[in-house]
Structure 1
């Protein structure tokens, strides 16, 4: 077994890039949502640490849809019952990808070509 050391920002960037590739390829939107939410969780925590907001413990994937002190974690379509999620997967994917891209830019100050494509084609920017 080889245990490596990986920066959370790099992991989050890879998750975001994979989510964007899936999204533009018309892939599974639930996978896009999960990848984007996992990346956004890590990037959001790194932003809080960087801004002096106190570094907390990174939460597991089980807590992806929990709120950060009242901040929205969903575009508003997400509802849950015992066995089902009621949501618009595309709207949730767009919301989380946009939020994740914003967090990445706040940390890095730049964007990848896929992020710029998202801004052009989905957000109508640039």
Structure 2
């Protein structure tokens, strides 16, 4: 089977969004959206477009952060990477806000997808943001 990485990432993102809209498992949402975010982010870089991590680093630096780019990226990916790896001594447990991390990872994935496929990304973005507003307004 031969798969196109854009299609793989879009499928991962679509499933993550469906789970989110159905109030599904937040860990699965983070993992799927994180995988899509990474693929779309690398495609963005290859197309000479700023991805969500680059934007985050640039914003932190503009606001006066003294952290290095590597430190900022490690922090941004901490939960996603902790959920998919068990490499380090003492990383058997992690504490975080599941909903907030899921929203953050979906936002990053959607931002990267928007960078490489504007027309297809907008309907997905609208579905997520409408759901967020309905939940917050309730």
TM-score if structure 1 supplies the norm length? 0.70
**Shift in alpha-carbon separation, 1:112–1:18, aligned structure 2, 3 A:** farther
Partner of 2:34: 37
Query: What SS is found at the alignment partner of 2:28?
Result: helix
Root-mean-square deviation (CA, aligned residues, Å) is 2.7
Q: Distance in 1 between matches of 2:15 and 2:95?
A: 24
Partner of 2:96: 87
Q: Distance in 2 between matches of 1:15 and 1:52?
A: 21
Q: Tell me which of 64, 74, 77 is aligned to 1:73.
A: 77
Q: Tell me which of 18, 21, 30 is aligned to 2:18.
A: 21
Q: Distance in 2 between matches of 1:52 and 1:121?
A: 28
Q: Distance in 2 between matches of 1:12 and 1:52?
A: 17
Contact persistence 1:21–1:114 (CA under 8 A): no
Question: Could you list the runs of 5+ residues in structure 2 that have no partner in the other structure?
Answer: 51-68, 83-87
Q: Name the structure, 1 or 2, with higher relative contact order (CA <8 Å, separation 6+).
A: 2
Q: Which of structures 1 and 2 has the bigger CA Rg?
A: 2
Matches within 5 A, 1:47-126: 47-51=44-48, 69=70, 70-71=72-73, 72-73=76-77, 81-110=90-119, 111=121, 113-122=123-132
Deviations 1:30-56 (A, max 9, x none): 000000001111111111111189xxx
Contact persistence 2:114–2:122 (CA under 8 A): no
Question: Could you list the runs of 5+ residues in structure 1 that have no partner in the other structure?
Answer: 54-67
User: Runs (4+) of structure 1 moved beyond 3 Å?
Assistant: 68-71
For residue 118 of structure 1, report the CA deviation from its aligned partner: 1.1
TM-score if structure 2 supplies the norm length? 0.65
